[in-house]
């Protein structure tokens, strides 16, 4: 860890005060701010419109903590996985998912994850640390540059579905959303941002109170406490009754219909009985359901349910008037699909 504070954890007013205290002109703060946020300089020396003495002083007092692209892999379906290196050498992954006019960036919020979901590769990595808000911001910026370079398109959507549990890095995740939606930093509409959570009930309620206007996805994967606890240990302390209450609170407070993510796994959660359990859960509040194709991982021997099972499952939900999308997996050949991110670099 550098002992110097990260400049992007300082507000414009903080930088102004620091400048004045250190004998520099206050208006320089705007120039510095523009360069570190909008232009994404990676060193203070790249701020070429301020005096050299100020660049040196910034160097002594602050660090930028810029995320670097370390490696890139392109899938046959156009999905691009990016391995990012953080200021302390730690690694996280992000993904660019092109789909017609949609360009989605999938970003990480923690190095590893402390929750041990049995079906997820990240769950088998220890949680090493939370990402700083600007480290999430940097992933978006770097993935955006790849979208422009490779597909000549801007990013249209951001999903917090990479490594880590966003709601267990609450403050930094919320700040990253504020940075991404701040027109002086990025300026994306919050409607284009989705936070995905394994279901930390207390934090779902807190997020509802923030008035951020982002979308929320709940990784459900089973609508029966015993079955959910077997694959998601977090369910022991955040069970379905509590989750339902939190989601009702979310809808009441934000008016935003959440998505339930359900990955259909053979011999685990793919039978008619389980579809009916999901109907019961989903009927408790307005929501839509994404049925996701399960991506096999090397750490566990779950299999994806076959196409007929998934279609039958979807049909049951539809018969009960639920909104259902069946999602094909993307970037499987390069381990970039949901749940496959495990910091593999070969
Ligand atoms: N920690 C958060 C966000 C990251 S995981 C969460 O759990 O929601 C992003 C999504 O990928 C979640 O919906 C997660 O349940 C899903 N996922 C994890 N492993 C998967 C796998 N092997 N196949 C398909 N989806 C998976
Ligand atoms: Fe963590 Fe989400 Fe993976 Fe569960 S599914 S281990 S919460 S990243």
Ligand 1: residue whose CA is nearest its atom 17: 339
Go through 233-245 and write b for each residue having 16 or more CB atoms within 10 A of its CB, e for each that does not: ebbeebebeebbe
> For residue 138, what are its two tokens?
């940097």
Is 261 known to be catalytic?
Answer: no
Write down the domain spans for the chain: 7-61, 68-334
Stretches in the chain below the pLDDT threshold 70:
1-2, 337-338, 343-346
Q: How far is the CA of 217 from the centre of ligand 1 (A)?
A: 10
Ligand nearest to the CA of 297: 1
User: 56, 93, 149, 210: which one is catalytic?
Assistant: 93
Indicate if ligand 2 lies below 6 Å from the C-beta of 169.
no
Indicate if ligand 1 lies below 6 Å from the C-beta of 86.
no
By CB neighbour count within 10 A (0-12 exposed, 13-18 middle, 19+ buried), where does 257 fall? Answer: middle
Q: Where are the beta strands (DSSP E) in 231-298?
A: 259-264, 288-293
In this structure, the number of other CB atoms found within 10 A of the CB of residue 309 comes to 17
Please state the pTM of the whole predicted model.
0.95
Three-class SS of 130-147:
ECCHHHHHHHHHHHHHHH
Q: Which atom of ligand 1 is nearest to the CA of 295?
A: 23
Is 113 known to be catalytic?
Answer: no
Indicate if ligand 2 lies below 6 Å from the C-beta of 103.
no
- Cα–Cα distance measured from residue 311 to residue 318, given in angstroms and rounded to the nearest whole number: 10
Residue with tokens 């109907």, as numbered in its chain = 279
Task: Identify which of 119, 121, 164 to mutate to test ligand 2's pocket (most ligand atoms within 8 A of the CB).
Answer: 164
Q: Which atom of ligand 2 is nearest to the CA of 123?
A: 6
State the sign of the Cα–Cα–Cα–Cα dihedral 227, 168, 113, 172: positive
Q: How far is the CA of 126 from the centre of ligand 2 (A)?
A: 11
User: 113, 117, 287, 338: which one is catalytic?
Assistant: 338
For domain 7-61, the CATH class is mainly alpha
- Cα–Cα distance measured from residue 22 to residue 9, given in angstroms and rounded to the nearest whole number: 19
> For residue 181, what are its two tokens?
């939606």
Q: How far is the CA of 138 from the centre of ligand 2 (A)?
A: 22
Q: How far is the CA of 219 from the centre of ligand 2 (A)?
A: 9
pLDDT digits (tens, 9 = 90+) for 46-63: 999 999 999 999 999 999
Q: How far is the CA of 283 from the centre of ligand 2 (A)?
A: 25
Ligand nearest to the CA of 263: 1
The pairing of beta strand 157-160 with beta strand 102-106? parallel
Residue with tokens 């999905």, as numbered in its chain = 79
Ligand 1: residue whose CA is nearest its atom 12: 219
State the sign of the Cα–Cα–Cα–Cα dihedral 171, 177, 182, 185: positive
What single-letter DSSP state applies at residue 294? Answer: P
Instruction: Report the pLDDT value the prediction gives residue 346, as an integer from 0 to 100.
Output: 52
- Cα–Cα distance measured from residue 117 to residue 124, given in angstroms and rounded to the nearest whole number: 8
CATH for 68-334 (3.40.50.300, 3.20.20.70, 3.20.20.140, 3.40.640.10):
3.20.20.70
Ligand nearest to the CA of 327: 1
Instruction: Report the pLDDT value the prediction gives residue 332, as an integer from 0 to 100.
Output: 78
Q: How does DSSP assign 27-75, residue by residue?
A: THHHHHHIIIIIS--SSGGG-TTS-HHHHHHHHHH-B----EEEEEEE-
Task: Identify which of 131, 229, 337, 339 to mutate to test ligand 2's pocket (most ligand atoms within 8 A of the CB).
Answer: 339
């Amino acid at each position: 860890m550098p002992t110097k504070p990260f400049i992007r954890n300082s507000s414009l007013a903080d930088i102004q005060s620091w400048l004045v205290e250190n004998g520099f002109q206050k208006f320089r703060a705007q120039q510095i701010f523009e360069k570190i946020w909008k232009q994404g300089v990676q060193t203070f020396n790249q701020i070429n419109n301020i005096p050299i003495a100020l660049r040196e002083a910034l160097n002594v007092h602050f660090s930028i903590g810029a995320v670097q692209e370390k490696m890139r892999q392109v899938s046959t379906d156009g999905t691009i996985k990016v391995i990012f290196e953080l200021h302390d050498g730690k690694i996280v992954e992000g993904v660019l998912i092109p789909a017609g006019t949609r360009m989605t960036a999938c970003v990480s919020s923690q190095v590893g994850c402390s929750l041990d979901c049995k079906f997820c590769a990240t769950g088998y990595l220890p949680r090493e640390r939370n990402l700083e808000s600007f480290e999430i911001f940097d992933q978006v910026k770097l993935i955006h540059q790849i979208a422009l370079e490779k597909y000549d398109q801007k990013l249209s959507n951001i999903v917090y579905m990479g490594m880590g549990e966003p709601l267990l890095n609450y403050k930094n995740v919320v700040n990253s959303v504020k940075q991404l939606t701040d027109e002086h930093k990025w300026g994306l509409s919050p409607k284009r941002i989705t936070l995905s959570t394994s279901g930390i009930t207390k934090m779902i309620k807190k997020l509802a109170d923030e008035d951020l206007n982002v979308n929320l996805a709940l990784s459900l994967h089973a609508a029966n406490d015993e079955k959910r606890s077997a694959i998601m240990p977090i369910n022991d302390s955040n069970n379905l009754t509590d989750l339902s209450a939190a989601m009702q609170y979310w809808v009441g407070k934000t008016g935003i219909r959440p998505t339930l993510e359900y990955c259909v796994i053979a011999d685990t959660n793919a039978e008619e009985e389980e579809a009916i359990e999901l109907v019961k859960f989903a009927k408790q509040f307005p929501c839509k359901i994404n049925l996701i194709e399960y991506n096999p991982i090397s750490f566990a021997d779950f299999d994806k349910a076959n196409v007929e099972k998934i279609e039958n499952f979807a049909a049951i939900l539809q018969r009960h008037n639920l909104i259902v999308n069946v999602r094909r997996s993307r970037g499987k050949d390069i381990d970039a699909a949901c749940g496959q991110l495990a910091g593999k670099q070969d």
